[in-house]
Structure 1
Amino acid sequence: MTARIYQQPKSAMQSGKAKTDTWVLEFEQSEARKPDPLMGWTGSGDTQAQVKLSFPSKDAAKAYAEKYGISARVHATPPKSLKIQAYADNFR
């Protein structure tokens, strides 16, 4: 059972920084997805892929993975870059 640990990113509809300080442990898929013959929906028998656990810090997520014997990879948070722009720059 493998998992990945990453910091919750900001959604496209979000302008503030709320809920971006949480870390998420998410299990990777162990079984390929396949279409359902009746409805055509994509599904899988892997129920672990539906589990997302939230933690207040990266260390807490790592400790949880070690406690339960889960091999986890930590994905580093990309650096944030701000593009400082004034309204007057639209008319240059």
Structure 2
Amino acid sequence: MVARIFKPARTAMQSGTARTKEWMLEFAPASAQELDPLMGWTGSRDMRQQVQLSFDTKEEAIAYAEREGIAYRVFEPEPHKPIYRSYADNFKYGRIGRWTH
């Protein structure tokens, strides 16, 4: 079973960077999910699938995985360039594009 170490991305409803600075270690599912015949719920016998561990740094997550003998893959986050715009940019002289109301 391989664990993945990654930095979580922001959700669509999130404008800030809360809970995106830490590194997560989560396990890949070892078995397929089963369908309960009575209720129709999906479930699994794999308890590791529910575990998510958070670490302050990538090195801490890797050290934990190596210490516990867990096979892992590291997924590096894509660099993200913040877009800084101000309200005054809508009215500046060299603005690209037409002004529409």
TM-score (norm 2): 0.80
Deviation at 1:91, TM superposition (A): 2.9
Q: Following TM superposition, where does structure 1 have runs of at least 4 consecutive aligned residues deviating by more than 4 angstroms? A: 83-87
SS at match of 1:53: strand
* Alignment-mate amino acid for residue 70 of structure 1: I
The residue type equivalent to 2:100 in the other structure is: F
State the identity as a percent. 47
TM-score w.r.t. structure 1 length? 0.87
String of CA shifts for 1:1-23, please: whole Å, max 9, x gaps.
32000002111111111221100
- AA in 2 matched with 1:15: S
Partners of 2:85 and 2:40 lie apart in 1 by 47
Which residue is equivalent to 1:43? 43
Paired AA for residue 27 in structure 2? F
Kindly name which structure, 1 or 2, has the bigger radius of gyration based on alpha carbons: 2
Instruction: Give the alignment of 1:1-92 within 5 angstroms.
Output: 1-83=1-83, 88=90, 91=100
- RMSD, aligned CA: 2.0
Amino acid at match of 1:60: E
Q: Deviations over 1:21-76 (max 9, x none)?
A: 10000001000012110111111111100000000000000000000000000001
